[in-house]
């Protein structure tokens, strides 16, 4: 069964709302045959990254970049995954209070180094999430999960 690994750092109510929307989309009843694994970035084991067929990453934008927790995840998995996970799709959602561009740039740089392929544009949310932001997160989760059923 294909696996979607959701790796997140969720320190705020806004990020919790985005995570819940992503998981609702990925777990939609219309999508069958996909296992969704949810792991906090600080404790996501390397084996989960190696065994996943796609990745959905969630992070706050902190001081112009991704959270230290997501960077820690990348630091742990980079060498074990660098040759074994090439070509796998990933998605990204980022929440910030004023600017998320640095976080997106830095995640893309590392994902490119891993050979991962961005499945769709990142969902970016500045300030409190609106209904459209939650819908975009739902669609992100659903599209990555549904894409695994086509592989």
CATH architecture type of domain 3-149: 3-Layer(aba) Sandwich (3.40)
Q: What pLDDT, on the 0 to 100 scale, is given for residue 149?
A: 86
Handedness of CA 43, 36, 6, 55 (dihedral sign): positive
Say what the pLDDT of residue 151 is.
Answer: 60
100-104 average pLDDT score? 97
Q: How far is CA 34 from the centre of its chain?
A: 16
- With the C-alpha atoms ordered 26, 145, 14, 123, is the resulting torsion angle positive or negative? negative
pLDDT reported for residue 19: 98
Tens of pLDDT, residues 31-46: 999 999 999 999 999 9
Q: What is the pLDDT of residues 56-80, one digit of tens each?
A: 999 999 999 999 999 999 999 999 9
Report the predicted TM-score, pTM, of the whole model to 2 decimal places. 0.97
Helices 131-149, 13-26: crossing angle, 10 deg rounding: 40
């Amino acid at each position: 069964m294909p696996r979607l690994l959701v790796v997140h750092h969720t320190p705020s109510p806004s990020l919790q709302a985005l995570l819940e929307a992503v998981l609702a989309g990925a777990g939609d009843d219309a999508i069958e045959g996909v296992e969704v694994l949810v792991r906090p970035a600080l404790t996501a084991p390397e084996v989960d990254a190696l065994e996943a067929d796609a990745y959905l990453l969630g992070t706050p934008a902190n001081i112009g970049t991704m959270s230290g927790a997501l960077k820690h995840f990348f630091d742990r998995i980079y060498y074990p995954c660098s040759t074994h996970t090439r070509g796998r799709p990933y998605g990204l959602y980022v929440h910030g209070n004023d600017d998320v561009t640095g976080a997106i740039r830095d995640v893309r740089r590392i994902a490119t180094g891993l050979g991962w392929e961005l499945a769709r544009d990142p969902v970016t949310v500045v300030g409190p999430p609106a209904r459209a932001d939650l819908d975009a997160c739902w669609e992100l989760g659903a599209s990555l999960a549904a894409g695994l059923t086509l592989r």
